[in-house]
Structure formats: structure tokens, C-alpha cells
Amino acid sequence: MNANTRTRWWLFGSVAVVGLALDLITKYWIANTMQVGETTPLIGQWLQIMLVYNKGAIFGLDPRDLNPHFPTNAFFYVFSVLALVILVFYYRSLKGESWLTHVGVALITPGALGNLFDRLAFPDRGVVDFIMFDIGIPPFDPWPIFNLADVYITVGVGIILLGLVREGLSKNNESSEDKPSDTASLHDS
């Protein structure tokens, strides 16, 4: 294993372990110090802590809204495990991609692990969500309550998309530099 490969896996493992630890610690703390529905303002009404239990998906999306008999826990167990397997194999396949892609994939991992842990450890309760964001402008009026795992997933996906955009722009710049310009071909004739 070369130094670059070790560094990539060290990044992946470090982000996963630290992210998962922070997610689990904050959920444990909130679940054991607050009552469901109790709010604690951090920045006025804009940012508050409020304990809720979410049996749906990220940001409170719940497939049972469409089908009340949907096996939510079983679906999310399978989905989370498959997502984690795919993330590890995808990360393993990353070679020359930007570090943004590596960081993005590494960030999604503790998000998936944190919410999977809640679903496995507390299937009747659901996932602990507690961050309430409300800036008074739709769709942030208020935004669905979420947790650090949701933040990791969202930011990780955003970082991957940013990396893809930067990579695409870089390739476009390289290909335009390789082509002779129209003005150059006019001057040569």
C-alpha cells in the first residue's frame, strides 16, 4: 500500500470515526437531557434545539405518508447497508479524482452509519433529530428538524457535486487550450 493510498484511507477512517462519534454523542446528550418537543434557542428563533424522533428519512421525509403499510425500518436497514457498501467500493475506486470527492464520500459515511445505528438500536423510537433552522422564508420556515448525520450526508453530497463541477470545468479548460483558436487559423492562411 503506497503513501497516497494510506493517506486516503486514513482520511476516510478519521472522518467516519470522528463524525460518527460526534453524531452519537450529540444524539445521546439531546435524548437524555430534553423532552420531546422542548426547544432551546441558540440564535433566537433562527436556530434552536428541539428533540423529535424521526421514523422517516432525511429531513423528516416519510414513505408512510404515501403508503401507511410501508416497511420503513426494514427498507432503511437495507438501503443504509447497501449505501455503505457502495460508498466503500466507490471510495476504493477513487484514484485521480479531486480531494473534494474523497472528502465528500468520507463525510456521507458517518451520516449513513449514525442514522443506521439509531434505527437498529431504537427501532420503535426512530432517529433522534434536534437541529431546528427557521429564517422565516420558505422553505426555511421552518426547515425540517435534522441531526449531524443529516448534515454530513447533505454537505458530503454538496462537496462531491462541487468536485464534479470543478473537474468538468477543468476538463473544459484543458480541451479548449488544446484546440487551435479560430483567430490563429485565420492568421495562418
Active site residues: 129, 150
Q: Of the candidates 156, 133, 127, 158, which has an alpha carbon nearest to the alpha carbon of residue 145?
A: 133
C-alpha distance from residue 145 to each of 45, 126, 142, 151, 175 (Å): 13, 13, 8, 11, 44
Q: Distance between CA atoms of 108 and 149, rounded to whole angstroms?
A: 8
For the chain, what's the residue count? 189
Beta-ladder partners of 100: none
Q: Distance between CA atoms of 28 and 117, rounded to whole angstroms?
A: 12
172, with CB counted inside 10 A (0-12, 13-18, 19+), is exposed
Whether the Cβ atoms of residue 154 and residue 57 lie closer than 8 Å to each other:
no
Helix (H) or strand (E) holding 8: helix 3-33
